[in-house]
């Protein structure tokens, strides 16, 4: 299954949906790196974002683009950490029920943070179980 690349209008619409939801993380640069590259390199430290990664951006943008009827059905996702936390937080902010399938050996802090955002976490054994069948 493939989808078309987002257009500039899609990016602008996503920015409007995320305004006031995600943090405006800074752009960082290093003069020595720029000199070595012969250009300008800007780095966006999304580790400073709510939930600690950029995953909240995509999850919130997707959920906020869904119809009310689809949001009422809830969402299911699987991840061992960052996407789980981002999806759980986006669902919490939008009042959507979220079930997240995570491997039993996922970092305990990421499981706890996902639960703290209100998601129902289902743990599975990645050796014995198939997450798709759960």
Annotation marks residue 80 as catalytic:
yes
Backbone angles phi, psi at 41, to 5 degrees: -115, 120
Residue among 2, 65, 73, 80 flagged as catalytic: 80
Annotation marks residue 73 as catalytic:
no
Which residues sit opposite 124 in a β-bridge? Answer: 103
Distance CA 111, CA 101 (A): 10
Instruction: With residue 100 as reference, give the H or E element that holds it.
Output: strand 98-103
Backbone angles phi, psi at 75, to 5 degrees: -130, 155
Which pair of structure tokens corresponds to residue 9? Answer: 């209008």
Distance CA 79, CA 59 (A): 12
What is the CA angle 25-63-84, rounded to 5?
Answer: 65
Residue among 3, 55, 97, 128 flagged as catalytic: 55
What positions carry a catalytic annotation?
55, 80
């Amino acid at each position: 299954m493939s989808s078309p690349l987002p257009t500039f209008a899609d990016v602008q619409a996503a920015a409007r949906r995320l305004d006031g939801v995600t943090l405006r993380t800074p752009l960082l640069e290093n003069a020595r790196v720029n000199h070595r590259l012969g250009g300008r390199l800007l780095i966006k430290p999304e580790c400073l974002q709510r939930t600690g990664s950029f995953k909240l951006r995509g999850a919130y943008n997707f959920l906020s683009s869904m119809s009310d009827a689809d949001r009422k059905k809830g969402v299911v996702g699987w991840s061992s950490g960052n996407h789980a936390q981002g999806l759980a937080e986006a669902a919490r902010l939008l009042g959507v029920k979220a079930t997240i399938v995570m491997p039993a050996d996922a970092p305990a802090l990421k499981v706890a943070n996902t639960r703290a955002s209100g998601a129902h976490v289902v743990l599975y054994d990645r050796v014995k179980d198939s997450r798709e069948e759960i």
